[in-house]
């Protein structure tokens, strides 16, 4: 009896020690990705990076672009509702059990996807994995719990920085509906989204053909087993093509600064080469200061504007399933907006990109992509979004090699396409910010 008790644990200790001698705590950086597609079209991406931590992310193609005028803000509410009572587990049980083993569960949403990520030591994740399944797929949205979310939604709205609102309005100007939907619930919708509305949204978007399960620090077979246990409808769900339209939106908020987002149509994610060329263009335009406390970098836009007036400029790039945005985000002191905003628009419209610029952009992009994919929860979320949108996941080496193959002419053609029809969104003190048709 006593001898048989020690058998199991002893073996486990030996394998655990084996891991700890081979791999660093963070896991190895050049892990292999194993992508499988289940019969119900659910994509499973497993990466055994031998880390002491496990990250599992369940991602659905259910971002705010799939909202309609009736359920505007549903995604924000669903994201905030992660952790509320589900079909088989109460709010109390979910929170306490995950806390007790020291794991953490987060929900993140963007315009395309919403993802639930469970993170913790291997043993902890193994214990609370059923709660990830509950939170991600078995929502019930009890009305009395939903009604308590109002304050949290209001805080989310209140702490949005103006830069973020400029980007939100840029999408609205560029796409109007679909991708133009804000990632945040409009104030007039707080408390109006009923549990039926949310259930309906979940039923139409949380389906197996729109889902991806990504696991780091877990072997492929146990991740596949978990993915198979998810109880998801196999239907296609809603689709929402969102063509680029272009336009201008201004929102006067007062203050000392004006935040102006200027962008044109970028590249879709289903064409990796063009998407990465757009990402290179973002870094070419301006990657922001790379040294702490330094001012603007040597990007195309700051070079054209000169280094005075205490403004800041950063390239922006977003790739969605069927379209994208690429451009710049300006933060200017209200008084110097009259000079800098037209200057930046002119620079964006007329700048020429040299080989040296492209090389610098490629190096900056490669550094940021590779460090993002090195390990950790960001990698799980990046791969989750990739797998949910395209059905595959490009490994870090593949991404790096595609970035290497981007040429100056690729970047120039993305820039030409973006220049054709630009959108402008400005927030803050707009007294001296010119209107788009005056530029």
Closest contact distance (angstroms) between CB of 126 and other proteins is 19
Compare residues 101 and 370 and give the one whose CB is closer to other proteins.
101
Q: In what order do the strands lie in the sheet with 34-37?
A: 34-37, 43-47, 211-216, 53-60, 114-121, 104-109
Compare residues 140 and 382 and give the one whose CB is closer to other proteins.
140
CB atoms closer than 10 angstroms to residue 82: 18
Residue 353 in contact with residue 278, Cβ under 8 Å?
no
Closest contact distance (angstroms) between CB of 186 and other proteins is 24
Compare residues 149 and 278 and give the one whose CB is closer to other proteins.
149
- Distance between CA 93 and CA 116 in Å, rounded? 17
Instruction: Report residue 120: phi and psi, to 5°.
Output: 170, -175
Residue for token digits 């020429």? 352
- Distance between CA 151 and CA 168 in Å, rounded? 21
Closest contact distance (angstroms) between CB of 285 and other proteins is 53
Compare residues 128 and 380 and give the one whose CB is closer to other proteins.
128
Compare residues 144 and 293 and give the one whose CB is closer to other proteins.
144
Surface-to-core class of residue 264, CB atoms within 10 Å of its CB (0-12 exposed, 13-18 middle, 19+ buried):
buried
**DSSP collapsed to 3 states, 340-372:** HHHHHHHHHHHCCCCHHHHHHHHHHHHHHHHHH
Closest contact distance (angstroms) between CB of 317 and other proteins is 46
Compare residues 147 and 229 and give the one whose CB is closer to other proteins.
147
Considering only CA atoms, which of 303, 121, 284, 136 is closest in space to residue 208? 136
- Distance between CA 145 and CA 99 in Å, rounded? 20
Closest contact distance (angstroms) between CB of 199 and other proteins is 16
Compare residues 120 and 343 and give the one whose CB is closer to other proteins.
120
| Per-residue tokens: 40 | 């119900």
- Distance between CA 36 and CA 42 in Å, rounded? 8
Compare residues 89 and 166 and give the one whose CB is closer to other proteins.
89
Closest contact distance (angstroms) between CB of 139 and other proteins is 17
Closest contact distance (angstroms) between CB of 150 and other proteins is 15
Surface-to-core class of residue 247, CB atoms within 10 Å of its CB (0-12 exposed, 13-18 middle, 19+ buried):
middle
**Which value, in Å, is the radius of gyration of the alpha carbons in the chain?**
23
Under the rule (CB under 8 A), what is the footprint of other proteins? 90, 92-93, 96, 100, 142-144
């Amino acid at each position: 009896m006593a001898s048989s008790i020690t058998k199991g644990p002893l073996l486990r200790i030996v394998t655990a020690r084996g891991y700890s001698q081979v791999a660093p705590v963070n896991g190895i950086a050049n892990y292999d990705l194993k992508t499988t597609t289940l019969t119900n079209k659910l994509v499973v991406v497993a990466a055994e990076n031998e880390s002491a931590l496990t990250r599992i992310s369940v991602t659905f193609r259910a971002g705010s672009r799939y909202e309609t005028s009736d359920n505007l803000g549903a995604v924000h509410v669903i994201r905030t509702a992660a952790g509320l009572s589900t079909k088989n587990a109460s709010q109390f049980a979910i929170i306490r059990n995950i806390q007790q083993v020291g794991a953490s569960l987060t929900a993140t949403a963007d315009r395309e996807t919403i993802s639930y990520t469970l993170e913790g030591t291997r043993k902890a994740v193994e214990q609370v994995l059923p709660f990830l399944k509950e939170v991600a797929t078995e929502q019930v949205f009890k009305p009395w719990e939903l009604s308590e979310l109002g304050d949290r939604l209001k805080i989310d709205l209140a702490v949005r920085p103006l830069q973020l609102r400029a980007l939100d309005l840029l999408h609205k100007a560029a796409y109007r509906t679909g991708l133009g939907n804000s990632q945040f619930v409009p104030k007039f919708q707080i408390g109006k989204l009923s549990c039926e509305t949310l259930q309906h949204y979940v039923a139409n978007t949380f389906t197996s053909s729109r889902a991806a399960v990504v696991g780091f620090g877990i072997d492929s077979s146990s991740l596949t087993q978990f993915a198979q246990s998810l109880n998801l409808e196999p239907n296609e769900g809603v689709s929402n093509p969102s063509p680029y339209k272009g336009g201008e939106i201004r929102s006067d908020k007062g203050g000392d600064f004006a935040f102006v987002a200027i962008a044109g149509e970028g590249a879709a994610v289903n064409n990796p080469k063009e998407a990465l060329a757009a990402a290179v263009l973002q870094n070419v335009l301006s990657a922001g200061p790379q040294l702490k406390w330094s001012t603007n970098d040597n990007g195309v836009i700051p070079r054209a504007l000169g280094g005075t007036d205490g403004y800041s400029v950063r390239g922006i790039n977003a790739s969605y399933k069927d379209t994208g945005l690429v451009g710049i985000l300006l933060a200017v002191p209200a008084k110097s907006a009259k000079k800098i905003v037209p200057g930046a628009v002119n620079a964006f419209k007329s700048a020429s990109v040299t080989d040296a610029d492209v090389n610098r952009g490629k190096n900056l992009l490669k550094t940021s992509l590779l460090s993002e994919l090195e390990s950790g929860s960001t990698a799980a979320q990046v791969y989750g979004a990739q797998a949910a949108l395209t059905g595959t996941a490009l490994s870090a080496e593949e991404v790096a090699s595609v970035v290497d193959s981007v040429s100056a002419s690729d970047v120039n053609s993305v820039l030409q396409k973006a220049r054709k029809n630009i959108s402008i969104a400005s927030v803050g003190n707009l007294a001296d910010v010119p209107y788009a048709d005056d530029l």
